[in-house]
């Protein structure tokens, strides 16, 4: 391409512009599509024009042979059963014999609050409480002390 100012050719490092492609006109596309459709229609009519009921003279009908068939029938029968009798209820009772009777005596109130049990009954450990027949001891009962209740659930000497 020539330079318009001095009529010299364009330097080689400048690319030459390419013209934009022209779109194909619609009538040119119809030139190929319509004959292809006509050919497909012609072939389809030619293939489908045969008589489906027409048989050739050399064709022999297939002989029907008896075939055994298997039929499976499943029948489900529900049997009513009586409800089982409920199991007998088992109730266990434990008889505890008290061997020691403790009489509470009123003590003079010193106001120090050192006596953990107001009834005056106290046990050094759970073995002593079990030997006296008082275990388990619930919170609020005579003989309950926090040092006897390991898990602090309100029941001393429970295990």
Q: What percent of the chain is predicted at pLDDT more than 90?
A: 1
**Span 16-47, pLDDT tens digits:** 677 788 777 776 666 778 788 889 988 888 88
Strand 155-156, strand 137-138: pairing: antiparallel
Task: Return the beta strands (E) in the chain as ranges.
Answer: 137-138, 155-156
pLDDT at position 109 is 47
Q: What is the pLDDT of residue 56?
A: 57
Q: Give the residue with greater pLDDT, 18 vs 152.
A: 152
Residue 6 phi, psi (nearest 5): -130, 15
Are the C-beta atoms of 139 and 149 separated by less than 8 Å? Answer: yes
- What is the overall mean pLDDT for the chain? 75
pTM of the model: 0.27
**pLDDT tops 70 at residue 85:** yes
| Residue 106, pLDDT score | 55
* Mean pLDDT value of segment 52-64: 63
| Omega before residue 136 within 30° of 0, cis | yes
* 105 or 132, higher pLDDT: 132
């Amino acid at each position: 391409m020539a330079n318009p100012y001095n009529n010299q050719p364009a330097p080689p490092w400048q690319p030459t512009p390419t013209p934009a492609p022209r779109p194909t006109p619609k009538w040119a596309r119809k030139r190929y599509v319509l004959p292809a459709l006509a050919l497909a229609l012609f072939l389809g009519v030619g293939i489908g024009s045969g008589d489906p009921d027409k048989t050739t003279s050399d064709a022999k009908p297939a002989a029907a042979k008896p075939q055994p068939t298997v039929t499976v029938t499943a029948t489900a029968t529900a049997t009513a059963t009586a409800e089982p009798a409920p199991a007998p209820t088992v109730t266990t009772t434990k008889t505890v014999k008290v061997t020691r009777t403790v009489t509470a005596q009123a003590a003079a109130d010193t106001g120090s609050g050192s006596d953990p049990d107001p009834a005056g009954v106290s046990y050094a450990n759970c073995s002593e409480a079990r030997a006296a027949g008082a275990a388990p001891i619930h919170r609020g009962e005579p003989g309950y002390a926090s040092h006897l209740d390991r898990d602090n659930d309100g029941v001393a000497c429970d295990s």
